[in-house]
Structure 1
């Protein structure tokens, strides 16, 4: 029976006309709740949560109690209060009272919330309404109430207010793609916790795609394919769940049915319904490669040109493969999947996919969609399909389509929809061009775009049952990625679904979402701090170390500037800096800082030759390097007010540090960290432009001439001590830095000088090092150094114990422009150097797995040289600036993955110069004691006395080479212990190789000669095994010609040739039979009795059949002889007695002449040998076998165990 689903059945009942209140931005009464309630009136006072507060359910209701417990348990963590949940009692002052009243609140998920100083009352029709009333109350408390740990310095108060609220749409969903990358149960639960706070009530889980099948389907003995064979579903998870998209790392896995039921139950307590999706007929490669029954190919595999059919897909392409829509096995498979999911998913919905079926023929697609719809309805489910489903499905009344078009395409009449327009609701779209995650095929999706839309933009209100935000995971491999793309956009989607369009305003919503920051922080959600919502205070430091390009950035990457006109890179105070030639500037374009501020930078002034020169300019004023009217002095200008001058002139051609500190007392000038002058005048902190003024209409542009470095601007007044620190080079590195890593505990590392200390990142632990303790990098953490890169003359050395990389590459150290790799990009396994965006250069060396090795990188103008254990290993022409920003991970947000190191390191040394070869040896400490050559010396003496007669050519050559190299190392007074040990190992292998003596080929030669003699007589032998003889003979001749062939090489080919010879069989001897048949066929049968003629003809026919049977060998000679005997007897048995028919027939009483009947024993002169004629060959072969057996015995005795 089909389910009936009217288009409006899930749309919440609208508020009555008299109860509706439109809330303009200025009329929301101070409400901070998201989604915005339908009615909100703030009253006087506050409610305070106290230790004695209880949650009291006036009527006992287990579902409502469960929903209440969810919120109460969260409050307990942060407040430390007991906050018990009690049922069936009347509340008292200070309690949070919950009442179930279906007359007071008629909408299923609606609620009324009254907050007074004396207590809180929530009234609702259902447990869902209770849960949402509690969520609104939750958002009225300080954001710190979300903390997982006790918070002791916050007053737990909520403003008094009266709220009446219900949703606009009954379907308010989020979508999570767990197929492209898999996310475990705990992560799904975490996301359910967060989204349910914003009254999201559906989680659509995308459980299958080309990249992975994510739900266990159990074997069912009752399920057979169309041919009656049992169906094995186990490979769906064994193979189908074994991988994922590989962008940002592989995240494989699946949910058992028990785990899925756990998710369903957990979500239900939070009023969230789980909707499973199995995408088809496209997006099904993981199922196709896992289930041979789905493919009508000979090999049982799907075939799509250019795609690996042995495993799920790992890329991003879509629509290139399809289930077989006319294969009945497809529907047997789907039926069982739907049957099993219907038993563990109480949702009335199942999502059947249906999108991007580019290679599925139209008629096949329509057939498929309707078959699948019937199967879903068979199990009591309402099917949902992605757009395209709406045009193909016949039962439009009892199905739902998920609208995901971009632009303003309208919904089809007569179809029920969920609104998910990709350009507004696809949360995997990048926020903007700088977003490191996501895609952009539907354009960018900034926060305001995901809020400023409504389902009615695409059709009439009665066509839509709700809204869903979609998050696809091609680029999302970590929980932090989900957080970043969901938040802060998810709350806006939630408000689109809950709050009427006429009550929503971006400007008003922006204020409420901005106030969610403390809440998001306390929940530890890794949200994007979007500047559309949270305008970051201007606080930045620009080291100006880029050295190339036209963009300057601060140390966080959040603040940027653009070089315009006559501004170039040059030598700075520290590293590189900006040089202004009097015709250019750097545009920052940030708003002026109101209130207190500080600005500082290094300046090397040149005479501008102009009336004034601006250092920093804003919209209302500027800091002057040369004040107006050629004073040459530093000053401040307030546009249209006055030009103020400090009693200080910056020197020409000399670096000086200038800092300006402004507060309500005026502005103070510091020179090289020392207070130099003060004025009472103040201006707003100028952050619009460096090197020229920013205001139009002034007498000139105020271009400065000179150089600038290390620009710092802060939205507060720094202290004198901070100003002194400000001028220091926080990012510079001088001379050397050596870490022994001997701390062995804690989270800090400090170099041997005590001048450099850093904090260990997550995933880095202490372990045994090469010498004492060392640092273990587990493939998930890095150490932030924060220094600017060194110039191209530098050295880095360290001990490394390598493990298998967890990503595409493994970084040892990274900087602003490049990095040194333990495992070069694309997992070459080799050590390398990378210049970002230029080249991945590779040394011809791979560090061993699980062994300590010392690597030293020495860079200069000629390139980079790699030393291994103090010995030069390889050189590449690529040179990069010394990478000084991070250890154990890359430093560029535009790279695939983090390049996290999976290894243990020890004894890290960094130098701002290129060490010599001798210094590198000292660094490795290879000369701490002389190498021990005793064993090598004795082995050389032994080797010189060995005889190489009869040894294979290659073994002899290898021995002589190893001996010569060992003697060279022996003579080298500077040879390291590593080199001595390597020489000894090589010589030992050479000595062992002398056991590789040439084998005895006598018997092989005999076998070859015998086989050569058989080849001309090919026609005498049966064809069955002839090719074996030909192949075995060819192989034997190859070994015969090989001067390095030993017994173990000779023995198998000799055995193979012998077996091939023994396998030959002569053809059966049919010469007598042939002659007899010829004579029998010439007999005139007239005059013989019918009975004897019949016997004759039967024997003749049998003889002819035997003659024609080419499969008979000498082993079948008895068959031939029997045919001869039967035919001979039949000829002898011809009996006269029939009437003659012609005159040339013998008389009836006569028998044919005996000359017409050869004797059975008569044989032709030149006969083919018969069985029994091979006795000579067999005797010879027997001798051969015995000889081979002896050869095998000799080989076994000689072989070194």
Structure 2
């Protein structure tokens, strides 16, 4: 009997330890190995951080110093005397091959904290993990009182699965300031994302100063302001002032690049050509095959393409048959190469609707001269010449997966956005099911960014809750993403550099919405690219995301609570009737609903089975709870919207 009692006591003690681990350790991305030990490290009021003189090492220490001192008010100093330090950052004297260049060991004991790594980047990432062990208030930018500044004792070994862990920020469709871009870099770096893909040019704006081509920013950076549904705006009248936009000077660029470097973030610049070039053509009309006649200037969000037929209404393409275009690109690439130390320059290549090339006598002559049979081969001709320009400036050429069509440039790297599953190598200019697979099989480096998993501009809740975009992408789908495509051999897998999420900003008008659309889905991307795929656990990820929400609340970073919004699934039962299934993305939540136009709480009916719409009802209102507390947003779903989705004959009571 005593043995039984002892067993039960030990069992519940273990449960308490595991529960304590859940409460104390909620790191994103999930480290490779975490072992919780006994006790806590209590931050003393006088903190010393040991660091060597090396400048690269000092960056991580200085940032830790700032993050610890501001909210606590404690004295935090740097020292080179390891014996007196309570926090030590050390480079391994002998390389730990398990850690590579970005991995680290973190040891937290009741008296000291030690972070060891092969390279400064590893120390920086160890610091990011350490900060997540402290209370959420560590994220505050002002002094915080009445907080116990402690971290659980742990042993952590951690290193990334992929070297390329990125986010793309489109600053062309809507411009974001230098300081906003810096803030975006700060948030990325906290979660070990190390690549900012900076989409600097498109139809709606040219955002980077090119000193040899001043009109690019004098003309190309400005448009008529519009708000509402992007893509549906009327064309501006000639007298409307072009006050919307902006650009980064070369000094701005240098400042942001250094800021990113200090946080171990590389910046990949993108100039999107030959399509998506309306802003450039507005500044220099002679660059298009139509000579600017079919260009309407820098667009504000009016329709310029027929997406159903893939036909261009206006000419936003550079002309591949115009030698001046290559001189123009030589100047642009030359200046960009001097500003960005990263090895690649992204040159776009996507969505080049070839309507005006097809009617161009100059392009027809080029095809005859160069023995080009298709428009895809014309674009390949353009890409191969552009690759030579990029390489002449000491950089590597990257483009969207359309550059595969017509034949890939010899050394080009491919950013694959069209499909994440197995596909075949390109043939006869046909669309590529998966550009990443095709490029890897051809021996070219690949970055995976498939729309179905990582397009952060997509709606993340029901369409009645979000600015309308043509597709949806919920958090659990992002979390299910494996950047390594199926079907590649071991020798082909080495060409997959990693992955990134893409935030196009057509429907994003301000920086707070940038944050809302990025987080928490970028947490999932961080984990997809850093953590071992086999360690993924959705329920545990949700727990850790919720811990990050608390930190974002303190830091006043906006995020989407969309994972708490139920999905509305229509089940058609006849030509005039249907039921509505409500499905939670997060497990363990209850849904309460009403049809009487009042706002439900937990005393209303709880959803247990598909709902039939009552006669004359006009609204279905739902809200999710965890236990006794509301956790989701109140959603008011018009019955007319459900009827439209069900594609049934309209019930007679709906007017």
TM-score tier (shorter): 0.7 to 0.9
From 68, 90, 99, the counterpart of 2:90 = 99
The aligned counterpart of 2:458 is 429
In the alignment, the residues of structure 1 paired with residue 546 and residue 394 of structure 2 have an alpha-carbon distance, to the nearest angstrom, of 44
**Higher-helix-fraction structure:** 2
Relative to structure 1, is the Cα distance of residues 138 and 454 closer, same or farther in structure 2, using a 3 angstrom cutoff? same
Alpha-carbon distance, 1:192 to partner: 0.6
In the alignment, the residues of structure 1 paired with residue 419 and residue 19 of structure 2 have an alpha-carbon distance, to the nearest angstrom, of 33
Q: Is the 8 A contact 1:70 1:269 kept in 2?
A: no
Matched, 1:261 2:289: no
Alpha-carbon distance, 1:99 to partner: 0.5
After TM superposition, the structure 1 stretch with the greater mean CA deviation from structure 2, 151-160 or 241-250, is 241-250
Give runs of aligned pairs for residues 52-201 of structure 1, distance below 5 A.
Answer: 52-57=46-51, 59-86=52-79, 88-92=80-84, 95-101=86-92, 103-106=94-97, 107-201=100-194
Alpha-carbon distance, 1:519 to partner: 0.6
Deviations 1:519-549 (CA, angstroms, capped at 9, x unpaired) = 1111211101234487899899x9x9xxxx9
Give runs of aligned pairs for residues 925-936 of structure 1, distance below 5 A.
Answer: none
The aligned counterpart of 1:335 is 330
Relative to structure 1, is the Cα distance of residues 435 and 376 closer, same or farther in structure 2, using a 3 angstrom cutoff? farther
From 351, 357, 370, the counterpart of 1:356 = 351
The aligned counterpart of 1:448 is 476
Q: Is the 8 A contact 1:105 1:111 kept in 2?
A: no
Give runs of aligned pairs for residues 463-502 of structure 1, distance below 5 A.
Answer: 463-502=495-534
The aligned counterpart of 1:623 is none
Alpha-carbon distance, 1:390 to partner: 3.0
Q: Is the 8 A contact 1:214 1:254 kept in 2?
A: yes
Q: Is the 8 A contact 2:205 2:223 kept in 1?
A: yes
Alpha-carbon distance, 1:102 to partner: 5.3
Q: Is the 8 A contact 1:552 1:560 kept in 2?
A: no
Matched, 1:43 2:32: no
Alpha-carbon distance, 1:365 to partner: 0.4
Matched, 1:519 2:519: no
In the alignment, the residues of structure 2 paired with residue 409 and residue 517 of structure 1 have an alpha-carbon distance, to the nearest angstrom, of 35
Secondary structure (helix, strand or coil) at the match of 1:282 reads coil
Relative to structure 1, is the Cα distance of residues 290 and 44 closer, same or farther in structure 2, using a 3 angstrom cutoff? same
Relative to structure 1, is the Cα distance of residues 430 and 516 closer, same or farther in structure 2, using a 3 angstrom cutoff? same
The aligned counterpart of 2:485 is 457
Q: Is the 8 A contact 2:32 2:158 kept in 1?
A: yes
Matched, 1:323 2:318: yes
Alpha-carbon distance, 1:550 to partner: 7.1
In the alignment, the residues of structure 1 paired with residue 20 and residue 445 of structure 2 have an alpha-carbon distance, to the nearest angstrom, of 33
Q: Is the 8 A contact 1:208 1:279 kept in 2?
A: yes
The aligned counterpart of 1:660 is none
Length-normalised TM-score, structure 2: 0.74
Deviations 1:648-673 (CA, angstroms, capped at 9, x unpaired) = xxxxxxxxxxxxxxxxxxxxxxxxxx
Alpha-carbon distance, 1:363 to partner: 2.5
Relative to structure 1, is the Cα distance of residues 476 and 400 closer, same or farther in structure 2, using a 3 angstrom cutoff? same
Alpha-carbon distance, 1:593 to partner: 4.6
Secondary structure (helix, strand or coil) at the match of 1:278 reads strand
In the alignment, the residues of structure 1 paired with residue 446 and residue 272 of structure 2 have an alpha-carbon distance, to the nearest angstrom, of 18
Secondary structure (helix, strand or coil) at the match of 2:84 reads coil
In the alignment, the residues of structure 2 paired with residue 560 and residue 364 of structure 1 have an alpha-carbon distance, to the nearest angstrom, of 60
Deviations 1:974-1028 (CA, angstroms, capped at 9, x unpaired) = xxxxxxxxxxxxxxxxxxxxxxxxxxxxxxxxxxxxxxxxxxxxxxxxxxxxxxx
Q: CA RMSD in A?
A: 3.2
Alpha-carbon distance, 1:465 to partner: 0.5
Relative to structure 1, is the Cα distance of residues 335 and 104 closer, same or farther in structure 2, using a 3 angstrom cutoff? same
The aligned counterpart of 1:234 is 214
Alpha-carbon distance, 1:440 to partner: 4.1
The structure, 1 or 2, with the larger RCO (C-alpha pairs under 8 Å, 6+ apart) is: 2
Relative to structure 1, is the Cα distance of residues 311 and 513 closer, same or farther in structure 2, using a 3 angstrom cutoff? closer
Q: Is the 8 A contact 1:487 1:528 kept in 2?
A: yes
Deviations 1:703-745 (CA, angstroms, capped at 9, x unpaired) = xxxxxxxxxxx89xxxxxxxxxxxxxxxxxxxxxxxxxxxxxx
Relative to structure 1, is the Cα distance of residues 508 and 135 closer, same or farther in structure 2, using a 3 angstrom cutoff? same
Q: Is the 8 A contact 1:216 1:254 kept in 2?
A: yes
Matched, 1:408 2:440: no
Q: Is the 8 A contact 1:66 1:269 kept in 2?
A: yes
In the alignment, the residues of structure 2 paired with residue 29 and residue 488 of structure 1 have an alpha-carbon distance, to the nearest angstrom, of 22
In the alignment, the residues of structure 1 paired with residue 474 and residue 120 of structure 2 have an alpha-carbon distance, to the nearest angstrom, of 35
Alpha-carbon distance, 1:356 to partner: 0.7
The aligned counterpart of 1:1008 is none
Relative to structure 1, is the Cα distance of residues 475 and 464 closer, same or farther in structure 2, using a 3 angstrom cutoff? same
Q: Is the 8 A contact 1:247 1:474 kept in 2?
A: no
Give runs of aligned pairs for residues 639-1038 of structure 1, distance below 5 A.
Answer: none
The aligned counterpart of 2:432 is none
Secondary structure (helix, strand or coil) at the match of 1:237 reads helix
In the alignment, the residues of structure 2 paired with residue 84 and residue 48 of structure 1 have an alpha-carbon distance, to the nearest angstrom, of 17
In the alignment, the residues of structure 2 paired with residue 472 and residue 46 of structure 1 have an alpha-carbon distance, to the nearest angstrom, of 43
Secondary structure (helix, strand or coil) at the match of 2:399 reads strand
The aligned counterpart of 1:311 is 298
Larger radius of gyration: 1
Q: Is the 8 A contact 2:380 2:409 kept in 1?
A: no
The aligned counterpart of 1:1113 is none
Alpha-carbon distance, 1:451 to partner: 0.7
Q: Is the 8 A contact 2:41 2:152 kept in 1?
A: yes
The aligned counterpart of 1:216 is 209
Q: Is the 8 A contact 1:429 1:438 kept in 2?
A: no
Length-normalised TM-score, structure 1: 0.41
Q: Is the 8 A contact 1:143 1:522 kept in 2?
A: yes
Alpha-carbon distance, 1:210 to partner: 0.6
